[in-house]
Structure formats: C-alpha cells, structure tokens
Structure 1
Amino acid sequence: MRNQAATDRGPTTQPDPDSNDSKARKHQLRLLAIGVVAGAALTVGGILAFTSIIGGNTQTQTDAKPTPSSGGDKSSEPPGQGQEYTPVTARPVSLFKPRSSAKGIGTGFEHSSLGAESAAVSYWQDFDLGDEAIAREQWTEVTSEDSPETIDRGVSGTVGEPLLIAVPKDGKAVVKALLSRSLDDSGKVIAVWMYYDRLVPNGEESADNKSLKGETTYLIVKWENGDWKVTEEPQYKTKVSGPPSYHPDSKAAFAAGWRRIAHG
C-alpha cells in the first residue's frame, strides 16, 4: 500500500510498471488485500454471532451453535434439554398458600394438581399433635364426608398406610419434597406422597416423643365442596403404590416425579 501511495505523489524509484516483477508484486498486493477484507468479515460475523447468543436473542440461530463447553444455569433448563436432573438440581416447586382457614388449619386451595399438592402439604404441616381436641377439629374440617373413619386414624397418627408411621406428639412437620399421582381420570382424586421431618422442640424429646427425620407418608385428597378433602375410601386406597424412595441426588427419584419444595 505504501508503494501505491508513492506512485500517486509522482515519480519514484519503483520498478517499471510493465516489468514482470512489478506485475507479480501488484498481484501479491491484491491477494493480500482480499485476505484482509475476508478476515475482517469473518471476525465481524463471529462477533455478531457471539453477541446474539449471550445477548438473550430468542430467535433461532442458524449460523451459531453452542459448543459442548457452553455454560449457564442448568437448573433453569426444562427436563430433556441436555441434562439429567435430580431433585436438588431441578427448580423446586412453589406451593400455594391457603386462602382461608378453619379450626386453625389452612383451607381454600384451588382446583388443580398444584392446589391438591399444596393442600396435602399444608394439612400435614399444620395438624396439631399436642392437643387431641384441636387435632380432631382440624381433621374433621379437612376430611371427606365419604371417609369419616379417617378422622380417628388421623388423630391417632396412623394416616399414611401402608407405612404406619407413628408421628411425634408435639413439634412441627417440615415437608421437604413431594410426589403426586392422580387416582382417577377426572383429576379430582390425587395421592400426594411427602418426604418430611417432624421436629420436636429442643429439650422436649423423650422416649415416646422423638423427632423424625427423612420420613415418607402420603395423603389422598379429593375435590369436594369447593376444596381438597382427605379421604381413605377403599376404591382409591387400593390404587396407591409406593414410589421409589426419595433422595435429593437421585436421578431415579426425579424421573419418578419427586420434586423439592421451595420454602420461604
């Protein structure tokens, strides 16, 4: 480029333009210029493609494919998009809050699968275990009219057969994960399995009142009179089968349907 500029300014000591050496040099300069332009175009194209990936462009990119080393928040990806999930790596489930209360227990959950899950978890966490009279009122409030025997079983702490888990007589339950199964074609009867801890207040444990950790139980809830009610009707109980055990790092647990619950 310097030689060309000198020629524009006037006579120089450059070789005869018609000589073979001069023609060869011009040919080399043209090839060099073409290479520079092509390289710049590729560089600009690469920058644009990279910007479209990291800039949140939601349009399909036909000229830019992610490499195997691409990073990102894997937990925000839906299942089947390049990662095998476990309950701890997948996004936790956010449950509904009760819209009303009665007898000291939350009520008023919407008619949906998430509403059923929210109701079961809320009931299990809020049942009073220290006062039998209060517990009976609560179980009566949230039990189906078609399953009155559930009230006595609930108060005695044996709901959740076939595991027959005895619960502490005091403390608070914290449900950490859930799994639900519809038991009919209408979606109005749902079994909700729960993985929970029942913690007795510090200093109050005794031989017959101990904290439980890592326990599993279930409630069957049925849509009835505008809310989810607990039931143990035989036609539904016979359809309940135990899922694979829960573990936060288990791919099998996630595949089976276990999901962590978001608290707070």
Structure 2
Amino acid sequence: MDRHDRAARRARLRLIGIGVVAGAVIAVGGVAVVRGMSDDGKDGKPAASPTVVPTATASTGPATSASPSATKTLTPNTAKPVHLNKPTGQKDGASIGFPRFGFGAMSAAVYHLDELSVLDDDMVRRQLAVTTAKGSEASIDKAVSEVRKLRETVGLPSSGGTPAGMTISTNVDAAQAWALDDDGLVINVWMHYSRTATLPKAASDDSPLKNQLTDVVLIWEDGDWKITTDPKWVAKRFTPAPYNPDSPTSLKDGWLVVIRD
C-alpha cells in the first residue's frame, strides 16, 4: 500500500464524522412548510408550531393541514413525501435554478448539501461561489480553510482533489424549514442526512455517518436561493425537534421525507 492509498484510508475513516464544510457555512436543511414569522417570533424561534402538510406536493406548496385524528397516526414515514424540485442547470459543480415558491428553498438546500465536496478545496470554493449570497463571501474562505485543515489532519497535502478512487456520498432523507421574514424571502432550512465513503476495493462503507442534523439560511437573490450568513438572519435560526421517521411528533414538528425524482 503506497502513501496515497494510506492517506485515502485515513481520510475515509476520519472525514465522515466531520461536518467542517457544512459548519463553516451554517449548512443545509429541508423544508416541510414555509411560514412567515410574526412579531412575537423575533427571538429566533417560530411564533407557533409548523403547519403539518402530510398531503402536500412539491408543485402545490403549503396545503391544508391534516385533521387532528390523522396527525395522531401519521408519521414522516407514512405521510406523503415531498418530491423535490429539479434544478434547471448546473454551474461549477452546484445545482442552480430552483423556484421561488413551493418547495424551491428546500430543494436548493438539499441539492447543495448532497453535492458539496468534502475534501476538494478548489471544488468547494467554486461550488460555494455559486451558492453563496452577496455579503456572505467570507464564509467561503472559512469553508475552504476548514477543508484544507481536514486534508492535513488525514495526511493529505493541504490543497488538492479527493483521493483517486475514493467516493464520498451525502444523502438527505428528511427536511423541514421556516421563513424568517414576512415575505418568505429568507428561509431557515434543516436537514437530516447520512454520509458514506468508500475506497476502490471496498464494496460498501461499513461505518457510515448516520442521523446527522444540519441547517442553512437561504435568501432569494438574483432569481435563485443563496446561502446567507448575515447576522440579522442567523440570529433568527430555530432549533427543530429531533427527527424520528416513525414518530407522529416529528411530523407535527414539520419533518417530512424528501424524494429526488
């Protein structure tokens, strides 16, 4: 085994549990129902519980709440899932072109986290340059710096691509979100995800990272959803209840399963 292979194996063992890129930009989540905050929600938490939308679709946006009896038995696993909006294009490794209404913000958040590079510092910079809002560019440098630190930690050169033959995959399976302004132009999006990494001779990852939560604040800018780290909006971020796919409480909190068609 040469030095490159050893570095790749160390990276596979250690990077999975480190959400450095996500943490550097206040990473991504998903939307169940987007709902504006009233004045009494200015403490950073929603003014009321999210509206449950077990029958909503990606094309319809927020729908009528389920009846009280239905919400007692429905769970994220049994409620109708959200079908994500597909992007209309790609730029520098990042999906672009998500709709303003419906589940556009959720879709952007999910796709961006799924696609975000973990070990390639140049790719991370290019992706975040596409998905980051004006005024939040400092978060890009921070993310790139964290990726380089991670590379050094696992024995790789500080700058470079993902080791040859190594595959890192992030998968979001559930999401929810709130609007942080009255117009629905700023959305705090949360996601539940897993991450796996495999090497050429390994059939599968026998120790994937599971049951992870992360969030992002997105703002509608120049016809698309972009990541913002503006303190005004970051201060209004909320903390969701834990995600449990078989819990009616999780559905009531706003968690829904997401599907990429």
Map of 2:75 onto structure 1: 86
Gap change, CA 1:223 and 1:96, over 3 Å in 2: same
Structure 1: stretches of 5+ with no match in the other structure: 1-74, 159-168
Q: For the residues of structure 2 that align with 1:203 and 1:233, how far apart are their CA atoms?
A: 41
Map of 1:192 onto structure 2: 189
Q: For the residues of structure 2 that align with 1:227 and 1:105, how far apart are their CA atoms?
A: 12
Map of 2:91 onto structure 1: 102
State the SS of the aligned residue for 2:109. helix
Q: What does 1:92-241 correspond to in 2, within 5 Å?
A: 92-155=81-144, 171-201=168-198, 211-241=208-238
Larger radius of gyration: 1
More helix by share: 1
Q: For the residues of structure 2 that align with 1:174 and 1:191, how far apart are their CA atoms?
A: 19
Where relative contact order (Cα < 8 A, 6+ residues apart) is larger, the structure is: 2
Gap change, CA 1:250 and 1:124, over 3 Å in 2: same
- Name the count of aligned residue pairs: 176
**Among 229, 239, 250, which residue is 2:247 paired with?**
250
- Aligned residues of 1:88 and 1:249 also touching (Cα < 8 A): yes
Gap change, CA 1:79 and 1:190, over 3 Å in 2: same
Percent identity over the alignment is 34
Map of 2:22 onto structure 1: none
Q: For the residues of structure 1 that align with 2:247 and 2:130, how far apart are their CA atoms?
A: 37
What does the per-residue CA deviation read over 1:63-92, in whole Å, with 9 as the maximum and x for residues that have no partner? xxxxxxxxxxxx869621642221011011
- Aligned residues of 2:188 and 2:238 also touching (Cα < 8 A): no
| Residue 112 (structure 1) shift | 1.5
Q: For 1:182, give the aligned amino acid.
A: A
What does the per-residue CA deviation read over 1:74-122, in whole Å, with 9 as the maximum and x for residues that have no partner? x869621642221011011000111011001110111124100000000
The structure 1 segments of at least 4 consecutive aligned residues displaced by more than 3 Å after TM superposition are 75-78, 153-158, 202-205
Q: For 1:214, give the aligned amino acid.
A: N
Structure 2: stretches of 5+ with no match in the other structure: 1-53, 57-64, 148-161
- Aligned residues of 1:193 and 1:219 also touching (Cα < 8 A): yes
